Structure 1
Amino acid sequence: MNAKVLVLLGLAAIAAADSFESYEYRPPQHSREDSFESYESGEAKYDFNWAVSHDPSSNEFGHQEARDGDHTQGSYYVELPDGRLQTVKYFVDGDSGYVAEVNYEGEVSHESASFESQEYRPRYVYDSNESK
C-alpha cells in the first residue's frame, strides 16, 4: 500500500515538473546589422533647482542647473562660516569647458565663524587602541 502511494506521488511530481517552463540565461540575439553604434540616445536635457535653509546653524546653500544638449548653465551658493555668501555662476558651451564666475556678498565677521553652541560642531575622537 505504501509503495503504491509513493509511486503515485512520484508520478505526480514528474508530471508537475514537466508542466513548468525552463528558465535559463541566454545572451541577447542580434542580427549582423545591429551594432552598438546603431543605438542612439537623445540630447541631454534637464533642469533642476534645490535649496536648504537650516535656521539653528544659519546654514544656507543651494544649486540650480539647466542643460540642453551641449549647453549647460547653473549656479550654486553657500553661506560661508565667516558670514559671507559665496555665489558661483557657471556655464559650459560645447568644448569651452567649465567657465565660472565667483562672487562674495557681505563682510567677513569672525564672530559668525564660531558657533555659540557646541551642539552643531562635529566631534572626532581617535582611540589608538581601536586599531590593535
Structure 2
Amino acid sequence: MIKQVAVLMVVVVGVTTALPSDTYNPAPMPYNFAYGVKDDYSGANFGHNEDSDGNAVKGSYNVVLPDGRIQTVTYVADHYGGYQAQVSYQGEAQYPHEYGPAITFKPNTYGQPSYQ
C-alpha cells in the first residue's frame, strides 16, 4: 500500500512539474489601427494610429489644442524600454480678443414635450 502511494506521488509530482505554470499565455499578435475625426461644426479634429509587431508598439496621435496649435505625440512602447514619447507642436498659439459666434443648436422639431 505504501509503495503504491509513493508511486502515485511520484507520478503526480512529475505531471505537475511538466505542466506550464501559466496556462494562459497567448502568443503576441501583430496588429495596426488608425482613425481620424474632423468635425467642422464642433471644431473637433484629432486622430490616432498604432502598429505592433507583437513585441513593440509604435504610434502617434494628434489633437488641435484650444489655442489653435496641433499637438502630436509620437511613441514607442515595449517590455524593456517602457513607454517613450516625443511631443511636438505645430503652429503658433493664438489668443484672439474677440471670439466667434456662439454655437447654436436647432430647436426641437418634434413639437413641445408631452407629459403623461
TM-score class, shorter? 0.5 to 0.7
TM-score by structure 2 length?
Answer: 0.64
Q: Does the alignment pair 1:53 with 2:38?
A: yes
Task: Give me the whole-angstrom Cα distance separating, in 2, the residues matched to 1:102 and 1:49.
Answer: 19
Contact 2:35 2:49 in 1 (8 A): yes
Contact 1:73 1:92 in 2 (8 A): yes
Structure 1's unaligned 5+ residue stretches are 1-30, 121-132
Contact 1:61 1:76 in 2 (8 A): yes
Could you tell me which residue of structure 1 aligns to residue 69 of structure 2? Answer: 84
Which of 31, 41, 44 is the matching residue for 2:26? 41
SS in 2 for 1:76: strand
Could you tell me which residue of structure 2 aligns to residue 27 of structure 1? Answer: none
Q: Does the alignment pair 1:111 with 2:70?
A: no
Moved over 4 A (4+): 31-36, 112-115
Q: Deviations over 1:20-56 (max 9, x none)?
A: xxxxxxxxxxx96766634441213210000000101
Asked which structure has the greater CA Rg, the reply is 1
Identity %: 37
Seen in structure 2, the aligned counterparts of structure 1 residues 100 and 35 have a Cα distance that, compared at 3 Å, is closer
Seen in structure 2, the aligned counterparts of structure 1 residues 36 and 93 have a Cα distance that, compared at 3 Å, is closer
Contact 2:31 2:54 in 1 (8 A): no
Contact 1:81 1:112 in 2 (8 A): no
Q: Does the alignment pair 1:65 with 2:50?
A: yes
TM-score by structure 1 length?
Answer: 0.57
Task: Give me the whole-angstrom Cα distance separating, in 1, the residues matched to 2:69 and 2:28.
Answer: 38
